[in-house]
């Protein structure tokens, strides 16, 4: 089972920007337990969706030659609830890279309304040199991105 909280990646510009989307539906597994009479996407999962996209922007920016871990999330704001039927647009921007990782910011919108934002997501990387592992990461990205061409 995949635990992805976006449907597909629409844009990926390594070192700069990524955009993805998620159509929130009643079929999402968390709704029966999260307010069955008034389904709301948990705020933690909204931020998880943004973090997943930020993680891919980090890995792609390092040309798949990194194992990564998220080490800091700072300045999270959730402005409104997300309900079934909302189409979330997720965007992340690379603020800067550092020798062992990256710092990224992001927003979640529905139409033009900002639903949530994060000021900084910091990733720490460990370099990967095994070509088979790098190729495997590219294949995993292709699958998880909705076959986004890089």
Q: Which residues are catalytic?
A: 34
C-alpha distances in angstroms, 36 versus 46, 109, 115? 18, 24, 21
Residues 25/150/91/96 CA torsion (nearest 10 deg): 150
**Do 10 and 18 form a contact (C-beta atoms < 8 A)?**
no
Rounded to whole angstroms, the Cα distance separating 21 from 24 reads 10
Q: What is the SS3 assignment for 45?
A: helix
């Amino acid at each position: 089972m995949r635990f992805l909280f976006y449907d597909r990646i629409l844009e990926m510009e390594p070192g700069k920007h990524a955009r993805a989307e998620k159509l929130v539906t009643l079929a999402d597994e968390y709704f029966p337990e999260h307010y069955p009479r008034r389904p709301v996407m948990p705020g933690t999962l909204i931020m998880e969706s943004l973090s997943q996209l930020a993680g891919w922007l980090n890995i792609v920016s390092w040309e798949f030659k990194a194992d990564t871990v998220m080490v800091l999330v700072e300045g999270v704001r959730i402005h409104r609830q997300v309900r079934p039927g909302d189409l979330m647009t997720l965007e992340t921007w690379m603020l800067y890279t550092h020798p062992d990782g990256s710092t990224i910011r992001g927003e979640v919108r529905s139409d033009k309304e900002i639903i949530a934002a994060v000021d900084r997501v910091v990733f720490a990387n460990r370099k990967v040199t095994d070509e088979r592992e790098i190729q495997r990461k590219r294949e995993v990205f292709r699958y998880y991105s909705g076959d986004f061409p890089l």
